[in-house]
A and B are shown apart, each in its own frame.
Chain A
Amino acid sequence: MTRKHRRLYILVAALLVFGGAAALVLAALDENLDHFRSPSQLIAEPPPLDRGIRLGGLVEEGTVQRSEDGLSVVFRVTDLSESVAVAYTGILPDLFREGQGVVTTGNLQSDGTFAAREVLAKHDENYMPREVVDALKASGQWHDGEGGHSEGMTQ
């Protein structure tokens, strides 16, 4: 076993392991991404139904309806110019409230509603997910008042 042999062996092993990892990553990246969309984008360009979507926006006031058994809930997520109906079954996060920012993960249905398998609200009530801010900005509804510095008072 000379030094050269050893180096060759390590190189081959490294190529095998890292090549394998790269192949796994490439294969997985194609299928396992959730694409972030705002309600306006979702309506303007409906994505394929099987694509994972993260729909972000504000919970529209007065649209939260719970089913009889209290398990399923339907609400609209809005970016203040368009809104999309979202259906979800399960316990909503503690911080889920009307008028607050949420991110829901799921798929668009053929009837134009959104079936969420996960609903996230931020831990902090003054915080708005960056994606939500960007979505609001894209729909022309985001604004920073003059002189107002809204520094996040997060922990």
Chain B
Amino acid sequence: MIAELGHFALILALLTAVIQGSLPMLGAARGRADWMAVAQPAAILQVVLVALSFAALTYVYVVSDFTVINVVENSHSAKPMLYKVTGVWGNHEGSMLLWILILALFGSMVALFGGNLPPSLKARVLGVQAWIGIGFLLFTLLTSNPFLRVFPAPPDGRDLNPLLQDPGLAFHPPLLYAGYVGFSMAFSFAIAALIEGKLDAAWARWVRPWTLLAWAFLTAGIALGSWWAYYELGWGGWWFWDPVENVSFMPWLLGTALLHSAIVVEKRDALKVWTVLLAILTFSLSLMGTFIVRSGLLTSVHAFATDPERGFFILVLLLITIGGSLLLFALRAPVLKPGGLFSPISREGGMVINNLFLAAACATVFLGTLYPLFLEAVNGSKVSVGPPFFNATFVPLMVPLIFLMALGPLMPWKRADLAGVFSRLKLAGLGAVIAAGITLYLEQGGPILAVAAMGLVGWLFVASLVEWSDRIKLFRAPLGDSWRRARNLPRSAHGMTLAHAGMAVAAAGMIGASVWNLEEVRNLQPGESMEVAGYSYRLDGVEQLEGPNYLADRASLTVTRDGEEIAVLTPEKRLYPVQNMPTTEAGIHTTWVSDLYAVIGDSDGRGGWTVRIFHEPLVPWIWLGSLLMVLGGFVSLSDRRLRIGAPNRQAKAKAAPEPESGPGGHPAAAE
């Protein structure tokens, strides 16, 4: 009954979306306000219906209703409640429903808070949102209905893949989808602007917070996924350049570019055509990610339900959405009037360079990810593109980007003076030397490139702080004065500093983890120990224990350094009997400058166990840096000029792209 209700609500949501996608669009074209006004209640009804449907699915999971095939395949009565709930989106059908729910949520937010958007723009944005919704609702209802029943009902379910029974992965998909789907807002605004043939600073003012929100969610989602892979797969790695990872990374790269170019549109009314293209491409890559993951097009270590029929359906959806929007772009973009002029050496110029590098980096990831498919199509040979490819292409593109990232925020709009910028960066130069020096001292040599890379990261970190401390006159004015300045500084300025510094911290972690990580495998008898990177690991013993739905061998390893006990690591090897599936739980102790990471393998049958120890320097910084970036995103969002729903109070006051003055002044360094 409940399942049928959910199904029914979903069908009603589709009908609502059809109305939301047609009437307001027509109204906008004919200038009929009453038709346009339909969009708002429709969007709200839409989210209510989809939420009902999602609640119904959650309910059948919570009560373990094994007459629903989706529950049978992905749940089990003995599963902990947390994973019964997260199991709702731990499978293809349920995750599509989550996708649609988030889409509807974003749509309703425009409906609720977009009161002072121009009515035709609002109607069109909601119309485009509804079109996307129609596509995915059709897809879910026709090929991936989560509410199908099975008869006769089996006594119990097949359980959720044990790898997914983990808090990290439980919340990875919602964050990731919030990111993917969040970019649909920028997309809808871009399409609406193309249809209107008008794009101004007020448009960018709306697009920016949505992009920022999506970007922050996506950053968090990717970081969480990477963290999960790091502690759950037991390979000691955090990023494998696997197709499934790459398809989430590509929208991040372009989304980051969009975030910056939208600022230029808002402040300087320039780069409009490019920004619209970026908005379309970013969301297109998000859609493509969904397609690639679910169609079995590429071979990946991370399995997902693959079904060619579904793949074909999504491909048609992609053709309509991406092909249609790019065609619209080709036809309508030339109409958009070019905006303000700027010198190559200026804030705008810096943003252009930033966008070029990010787009080029995204292109290399795209090529590397899809190259196996291209090559197979051309001559049938099967290849895989591994991490060495990405290290040789992506990383060299990041080096100049990080170097220039330090300069950008210090450059004023319109025209900047490079010598002046560099003179403000003396301290950053010192930071670079210090970071390189520390690295050299700690590592006693090591690859010279890695030392230089650490220097580069030090440069970025200090430069980000220099820009911020200059603005609040830290140490140049009395502290109280600085404090007052810091409080008056727009939140977005704090956010940018946090995000840029976070990038530096995360980059340092990535360099450390890839260059200096150590790995040793040994067969240990209880009582024996092994030495890795100055730490001694003693195997105390291995005990068997029973979890709620698994059996485990748990080893306990005492870590000592110079005779002093540091930690006890308890890596486990679990077996989930329902799926007859073993998993590895790594034992990790973090010292904040490195992770001590232990995994146990098989017993040799004579009392000995295979023990694998990783020494992972700086890895915690990757998560710390990502966290700072996400935090930066949210701090920026809380800026009252950017706050979702609020921006139009200012937008009304000013349509012109000139910097405004007053207490909420622009963060431009020119001021």
Q: Which residues of A contact B (CB under 8 A)?
A: 1-3, 6, 9-10, 13-14, 17-18, 20-21, 24-25, 27-29, 31-36, 52, 54, 66, 69-71, 89-92, 94-95, 105, 120, 122-125, 127, 129-131, 134, 151-155
Q: Is the CB of A130 within 8 A of B296?
A: yes
Q: Is the CB of B361 within 8 A of A90?
A: no
> Which A residues are CB-close (under 8 A) to B342?
1, 6
Q: Is the CB of B356 within 8 A of A125?
A: no
Question: Given A14-B356, A21-B360 in contact, is the A122-B301 Cβ separation under 8 Å?
Answer: yes
Minimum CB–CB distance for B233 against chain A, Å: 9
Q: Cβ of B134 < 8 Å from any Cβ of A?
A: no
- Count B interface residues, CB 8 Å: 68
Question: Given A17-B360, A69-B604, A90-B612 in contact, is the A33-B296 Cβ separation under 8 Å?
Answer: no
Q: Which residues of B contact A (CB under 8 A)?
A: 73-74, 90-92, 158, 160-161, 163-164, 234, 296, 299, 301-307, 338, 341-344, 349, 352-353, 356-357, 360-361, 363-364, 367-368, 371, 381-386, 388-389, 392-393, 396-397, 521-523, 573, 579-584, 599, 601-604, 608-610, 612
Kindly identify which residue among B341, B583, B603 contacts A3, using a CB–CB cutoff of 8 Å: B341
Can you give 29 A-B contacts (C-beta < 8 A)?
A: A1-B343, A2-B341, A10-B352, A18-B356, A18-B360, A21-B360, A21-B397, A27-B392, A29-B385, A33-B383, A33-B389, A34-B384, A34-B385, A34-B386, A52-B386, A66-B602, A66-B604, A69-B604, A91-B602, A91-B612, A92-B602, A94-B583, A120-B301, A123-B163, A123-B301, A131-B382, A152-B303, A154-B303, A155-B161
CA distance A142 to B240 in the complex (A): 30
Minimum CB–CB distance for B510 against chain A, Å: 19
> Which A residues are CB-close (under 8 A) to B612?
90-91
Minimum CB–CB distance for A89 against chain B, Å: 7
Q: Is the CB of B299 within 8 A of A21?
A: no
Q: Report how many A-B pairs have Cβ atoms within 8 Å.
A: 157
Question: Given A70-B604, A153-B73 in contact, is the A29-B386 Cβ separation under 8 Å?
Answer: no
> Which B residues are CB-close (under 8 A) to A35?
381-383
Question: Given A24-B364, A71-B610 in contact, is the A154-B306 Cβ separation under 8 Å?
Answer: yes
Q: Is the CB of B367 within 8 A of A25?
A: yes
Minimum CB–CB distance for B357 against chain A, Å: 6
CA distance A21 to B603 in the complex (A): 48
List the A residue with the shortest CB-CB distance to B296. A130
Q: Is the CB of B364 within 8 A of A36?
A: no
List the B residue with the shortest CB-CB distance to A122. B303
Known contacts A94-B583, A153-B158; 11 further A-B pairs (Cβ under 8 A): A17-B353, A17-B397, A20-B397, A24-B392, A25-B367, A29-B371, A29-B385, A70-B602, A91-B612, A92-B601, A155-B161
Kindly identify which residue among B234, B384, B573, B582 contacts A95, using a CB–CB cutoff of 8 Å: B582
Question: Given A122-B301, A122-B303, A155-B161 in contact, is the A28-B389 Cβ separation under 8 Å?
Answer: yes
> Which B residues are CB-close (under 8 A) to A95?
581-582
Minimum CB–CB distance for A88 against chain B, Å: 11
Q: Is the CB of B521 within 8 A of A91?
A: yes
List the B residue with the shortest CB-CB distance to A134. B382
> Which A residues are CB-close (under 8 A) to B573?
94
Question: Given A28-B388, A29-B389, A130-B299 in contact, is the A155-B90 Cβ separation under 8 Å?
Answer: yes
Q: Is the CB of A152 within 8 A of B364?
A: no
Kindly identify which residue among A6, A20, A134, A152 contacts B360, using a CB–CB cutoff of 8 Å: A20
Q: Is the CB of A32 within 8 A of B303?
A: no
Q: Is the interface of A mostly helix, strand, loop or mixed?
A: mixed
> Which B residues are CB-close (under 8 A) to A130?
296, 299
Between A10, A92, A123, the greatest number of chain B beta carbons within 10 A of the residue's beta carbon is seen for A123
Minimum CB–CB distance for B69 against chain A, Å: 11
> Which A residues are CB-close (under 8 A) to B584?
94
> Which A residues are CB-close (under 8 A) to B338?
3
Q: Is the CB of B523 within 8 A of A71?
A: yes
> Which B residues are CB-close (under 8 A) to A125?
579-581
CA distance A69 to B520 in the complex (A): 14
Minimum CB–CB distance for A67 against chain B, Å: 9
CA distance A98 to B583 in the complex (A): 17
CA distance A91 to B601 in the complex (A): 6
> Which B residues are CB-close (under 8 A) to A9?
344, 349
List the 10 closest pairs (A to B, CB-CB), nearest first: A36-B382, A70-B604, A28-B392, A91-B601, A155-B161, A32-B388, A21-B360, A32-B389, A94-B582, A69-B523
> Which A residues are CB-close (under 8 A) to B296?
130
CA distance A43 to B198 in the complex (A): 64
> Which B residues are CB-close (under 8 A) to A29?
371, 385, 389
List the A residue with the shortest CB-CB distance to B161. A155
Q: Is the CB of A155 within 8 A of B304?
A: yes
Q: Is the CB of B357 within 8 A of A54?
A: no
List the A residue with the shortest CB-CB distance to B349. A9
CA distance A154 to B95 in the complex (A): 13
Kindly identify which residue among A21, A91, A94, A153 contacts B364, using a CB–CB cutoff of 8 Å: A21
Q: Is the CB of B357 within 8 A of A124?
A: no
> Which A residues are CB-close (under 8 A) to B609?
70
Kindly identify which residue among A66, A91, A124, A151 contacts B303, using a CB–CB cutoff of 8 Å: A124
CA distance A6 to B348 in the complex (A): 11
> Which B residues are CB-close (under 8 A) to A2?
341
CA distance A13 to B343 in the complex (A): 13
> Which B residues are CB-close (under 8 A) to A131?
299, 382
Q: Is the CB of A36 within 8 A of B356?
A: no
CA distance A2 to B389 in the complex (A): 40
Question: Given A17-B356, A25-B364, A69-B604 in contact, is the A127-B389 Cβ separation under 8 Å?
Answer: no
CA distance A35 to B352 in the complex (A): 38
> Which A residues are CB-close (under 8 A) to B158?
153
> Which A residues are CB-close (under 8 A) to B307?
151-152
List the B residue with the shortest CB-CB distance to A33. B383
Minimum CB–CB distance for B308 against chain A, Å: 11
Minimum CB–CB distance for A70 against chain B, Å: 4
Minimum CB–CB distance for B522 against chain A, Å: 7
Q: Is the CB of B384 within 8 A of A154?
A: no
> Which A residues are CB-close (under 8 A) to B73?
153
Minimum CB–CB distance for A18 against chain B, Å: 5
Minimum CB–CB distance for B222 against chain A, Å: 19
Between B161, B338, B612, the greatest number of chain A beta carbons within 10 A of the residue's beta carbon is seen for B161
